[in-house]
């Protein structure tokens, strides 16, 4: 029975443990050019020295209009690729694996950054925002309405994901995660609440999943067999009329066949006004459902903060790994401290910090 300190290998990618850092937006590209900065180096590097097995960089836009906010990082040009390289290399030197989440925000793009401004919601074009796009011209509540995507728009998004994936590999990332969660573009296609198209991208489940499956297939073909490919899903919209864990398990199985390796399971984000049973590990049952029904590995995320509980998620087999987000923000050495509290002997405490290493 693996513990969260057991190593895990996916394709050619070896993670020293199953304590992973999920993507967490920083809204810190002050120049608004998508180029990662010294903040990203420090932020991600600290968690690499802190014992995480895998660190997935925040939602990284595959095109300028795919950014959640103007301050998001990107991978739509080579300047951005080259700025990621030293960050990835430092993570590697600390024994962790560097991953990156490739994203397009769809109708939830062009918003004011999460900090530094009093305004919220859509950032107007006159203030540096842009026209958003989505499968259907249905606005996210309190946001400006998007433009319904044409066939050409859809093809452009598909190509942008593949090009960003190639740049990510060139930058040294070993894990790529496709963002199909939290109400962003690919989730918008999957959910009947945001996708009311009547063409080959709407209606039946296979149509709503068409774009995601093409992206998975084409990224796998572009990056080869040695790179690990994850998909982050919101497993449910928390609405009886919406996307749900049954549909998610079916699409996950299709993604496995198309070349995906693991599913990072979250929930919600596509609509408002629903009741979400938030609490410790509230999304773990969803990760377990996808694991059991899609027959592929999953990672669980969401209010997993305590070492004992996090370890139990893995040892019980509910998920194959845990993604620790806000707890790592509070304590970038969460994994090292968890090892001490659980009595796990690990050999990757940074030697520079040996004088501060607690006694077991």
Give residue 359's pLDDT band: very low, low, confident or very high (50, 70, 90): confident
- Residues of the chain with pLDDT > 70, as a percent, come to 100
Please report, in angstroms and rounded to a whole number, the separation of the first and last CA atoms in the chain.
23
Tens digits of residue pLDDT in 48-60: 999 999 999 999 9
**Tokens in use for 34?**
């998508």
Specify the pLDDT at position 9: 98
Mean pLDDT, residues 192-218: 98
**Res 358: pLDDT:** 84
Ramachandran angles phi, psi of 97, nearest 5°: -105, 140
Residue 61 belongs to what H/E stretch?
strand 54-61
pLDDT above 80 for 360: no
Nearest to 176 by CA among 107, 240, 127, 222: 222
Stretch 286-297: mean pLDDT: 97
Q: What is the pTM of this model?
A: 0.98
User: Which residues are known catalytic residues?
Assistant: 184
Return the pLDDT at 1: 83
pLDDT of residue 334: 98
Mean pLDDT score across all residues of the chain? 97
SS3 category, 240: coil
- pLDDT score at 94: 98
Kindly indicate the confidence band of residue 323, based on its pLDDT and cuts at 50, 70 and 90: very high
């Amino acid at each position: 029975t693996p513990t969260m300190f057991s190593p895990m290998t996916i394709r050619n990618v070896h993670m020293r443990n199953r304590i992973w850092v999920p993507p967490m937006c920083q809204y810190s590209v002050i120049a608004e050019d998508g180029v990662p900065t010294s903040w990203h180096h420090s932020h991600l590097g600290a968690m690499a020295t802190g014992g995480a097995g895998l660190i997935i960089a925040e939602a990284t836009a595959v095109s300028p209009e795919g950014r959640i906010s103007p301050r998001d990082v990107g991978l739509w040009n080579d300047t951005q690729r080259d700025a990621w390289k030293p960050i990835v290399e430092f993570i590697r030197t600390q024994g962790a694996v560097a991953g990156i989440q490739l994203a397009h925000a769809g109708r939830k793009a062009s918003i004011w950054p999460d900090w530094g401004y009093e305004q919220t919601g859509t950032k107007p074009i006159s203030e540096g925002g842009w026209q958003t796009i989505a499968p259907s011209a249905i606005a996210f509540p309190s946001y400006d309405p998007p433009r319904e995507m044409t066939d050409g728009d859809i093809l452009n998004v598909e190509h942008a994901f593949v090009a960003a994936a190639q740049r990510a590999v060139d930058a040294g990332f070993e894990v790529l995660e496709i963002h199909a969660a939290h109400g962003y573009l690919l989730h918008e296609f999957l959910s009947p609440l945001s996708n009311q198209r009547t063409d080959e991208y709407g209606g039946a489940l296979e149509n709503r999943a068409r774009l995601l499956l093409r992206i998975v297939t084409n990224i796998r073909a572009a990056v080869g067999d040695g790179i690990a490919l994850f998909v982050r899903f919101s497993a449910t919209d928390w609405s009886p009329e919406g996307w749900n864990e049954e549909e998610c398990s079916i699409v996950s199985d299709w993604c496995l066949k198309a070349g995906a390796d693991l599913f990072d399971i979250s929930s919600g984000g596509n609509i408002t006004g629903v009741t979400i049973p938030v609490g410790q590990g509230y999304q773990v049952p969803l990760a377990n459902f996808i694991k059991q029904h899609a027959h592929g590995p999953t990672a669980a995320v969401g209010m997993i903060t305590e070492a004992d509980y996090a370890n139990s998620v893995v040892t019980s087999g509910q998920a194959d790994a845990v993604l620790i987000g806000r707890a790592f923000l509070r304590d970038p050495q969460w994994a090292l401290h968890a090892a001490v509290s659980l009595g796990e002997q690990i050999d990757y405490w940074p030697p520079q910090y040996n004088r501060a290493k607690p006694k077991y």
